[in-house]
Chain A
């Protein structure tokens, strides 16, 4: 009951934040929610035992699909977000058939390489993507209204959190946990491993594609170096690790802690804040092996 009250309170607070916060806080909160969705999607794939480094790749695919949809096909910006998600999901479906035969570091390296392949394609399909210079829109989504953009991102984040909880609370959890723990046992229990892996890969890629589409519509541009930046892989991974993996609250906590720490540390220390930020991540990962959320949970349970 207390948990439910907390969730309802948090949602109400998040919904009404733009009515009392300044534009800066709204902007920072919007960015944090985008990265939180990426962190959650990365963690959802990790729950199957597969370490994916393709987050930035699918993020970029969604971003490009959304900008091209609006610029070349006059699709509405909101609709383009769905197109970004569907495009990333379709690519994941096509590639998943091949790459999901791989395991462990082979899968990880292949998904990392996919990001480079997507970036090279974006750079070279100049007529469609604008090439190395990228592509711009003359108007950001909702004409750049930060409150509406915030609520759009908040809605998306709530959907992603709900999806993550579906993965935690339905039989999908048992299937993917079983695959992660021992594939042979999972197979002998009648679990169709490939089907589940493909399903999770498609869903998480769609989330990443939608996140990229929203980001691209928020800032009204795509450009190969920025859109496929490793920042969209490394930061979500750090957020999930700091918050705690294999759960929904972990990546959320990690995103909030690292998101605000990164933004407000630099206001305290204009020079060298990135070093402190890096040290915080390293120390958390070393000393809080279960992440911030996992450690707090352990403490609460042990009382």
Chain B
């Protein structure tokens, strides 16, 4: 009898997997650590799902194509996945420039797309309001900006000693920094009129450009002296990872230690936390490894990723890639069919607790109907570790305030 049961179970499992797989097509830049780890995390999610029996009695097949961070390659990848591999869904994404080229092709196929990259509001404009098949999980750039203000307001309420009235923004003179400064200027104008997300918080704003070390610069002294003279409550720099260490070294050199020292580069240098100057530096991000200490799903992801790939997830695109697959699969399960309308409805209804930290729930943004995450987190380097300070439900440490200064390090 026992043998018969084992035999029947085997037949059942084999027949399930003999079914045509549900194909998910992912497009990521694989030569970049961010894309590579996102791809790994997607593979991990698919492995777990298949080990648990697949979905709708069918296995899941993940086909990943490298976009090489080139618009035309990313656009051709959509055509390949749609016409050669005949995938059922599109996932992935990273660069906004690549995504802008993909959007006309995605509109042609209108397959359900769950995208984790591309923060530029131009992508939202290009997709338009009618694309009900399009789901965007990464916060748009303006949502990120708004979330910082919301986070700081919450911190000011929680920590009465914290004051954020005078802000100094040091920005790299290229596209990234200039755009950051422009958005702060716009928000400041609104704040002066008592509207916008920074109203009641930002009373004065000053900015100064610098040439990023990543683009041949690296001397920040003139800008830092200006900032020191201004004596801001919050000093924030928008540059690249190459600026992080020399910026701190030169700030120490001239004795500039604002009460809040915030860095907003797209990525941080490897082992930045090991540098003693990093202690107390605040940063923005969607995820921190320390989340594993407060979130069971983040812990599960962390352990499973290391077990599978023998390396630690180093960028938030790893848990985001994992979320990308699970969010779609949960919706397919809920819909119980591969019919587009049912899955779109399910994607709009489900709530998924993500290892990124937070419940993923779809709601409209300025233009599109299906926006996922809306906020970044406020983090702080503390003794070599990135800790979550806000949102408080995911906090892994208290804010160190004021910035500890430079003596002894």
Which A residues form the contact surface with B (CB < 8 A)? 22-24, 26-28, 31, 34, 123-124, 130-136, 138-140, 144, 146, 215, 218-221, 223-226, 229, 231, 263, 266-267, 270-271, 273-274
Contacts and interface: CB of A to CB of B under 8 A. Distances in A.
Interface of B: 30-31, 36, 64-66, 68, 70-73, 75-76, 79-80, 82-84, 96-98, 100-101, 103-105, 107-108, 120-122, 125-126, 128, 174-176, 178-179, 182
Contacts of A225: 97, 175
A136 B100 contact: yes
- Give the top 7 A-B pairs by smallest Cβ distance, nearest first: A226-B97, A132-B175, A219-B101, A140-B104, A221-B100, A24-B80, A132-B179
Contact of B31 (A27, A28, A140, A274): A274
Contact of B126 (A24, A124, A136, A270): A136
Given A24-B79, A131-B182, 16 more contacts: A22-B84, A24-B84, A27-B79, A27-B80, A31-B73, A31-B76, A124-B178, A132-B179, A134-B100, A135-B122, A136-B100, A144-B105, A220-B104, A221-B100, A266-B65, A271-B36
Contacts of B84: 22, 24
A215 B72 contact: yes
A31 B72 contact: yes
A242 to B, nearest CB: 18
A224 B175 contact: yes
A236 to B, nearest CB: 13
Q: Is the interface of B mostly helix, strand, loop or mixed?
A: helix
Contacts of B79: 22-24, 26-27, 146
A293 B121 CA distance: 46
A206 to B, nearest CB: 21
Contacts of A135: 122
B104 A270 contact: no
Given A24-B83, A144-B108, A274-B68, A123 B75 contact: no
Nearest to A263: B76
Given A133-B120, A220-B104, A224-B175, A231 B70 contact: yes
5 contacts: A31-B72, A123-B175, A134-B122, A218-B104, A220-B126
A263 to B, nearest CB: 7
Nearest to A139: B104
A132 B176 contact: yes
B122 A266 contact: no
Contacts, number: 102
Nearest to B177: A132
B149 to A, nearest CB: 21
A281 to B, nearest CB: 15
Contacts of B82: 23
B125 A226 contact: no
Contacts of B97: 223, 225-226
Contacts of A263: 73, 76
B122 A133 contact: yes
B348 to A, nearest CB: 24
B214 to A, nearest CB: 13
Nearest to A134: B122
A146 B108 CA distance: 10
B76 A131 contact: no
Contacts of B96: 223
A223 B122 contact: yes
Nearest to B128: A138
Given A132-B175, A221-B122, A270 B80 contact: no
Contacts of A124: 178
A275 B82 CA distance: 27
A131 B181 CA distance: 13
Nearest to B74: A219
A225 B174 CA distance: 10
A5 B102 CA distance: 38
Contacts of B104: 139-140, 144, 218-220
A223 B97 CA distance: 7
Given A136-B125, A146-B79, A219 B66 contact: no
A278 to B, nearest CB: 11
A219 B179 contact: no
Contact of A23 (B73, B83, B120): B83
A140 B126 CA distance: 11
A263 B79 CA distance: 13
Contacts of A223: 96-97, 100, 122
B321 to A, nearest CB: 15
Contacts of B125: 136
Contacts of B65: 266-267, 270
B171 to A, nearest CB: 11
Give the one of A28, A223, A273 with max B CB within 10 A.
Answer: A223
Contact of B83 (A22, A123, A219, A231): A22
A123 B120 CA distance: 15
Contacts of B105: 27, 144
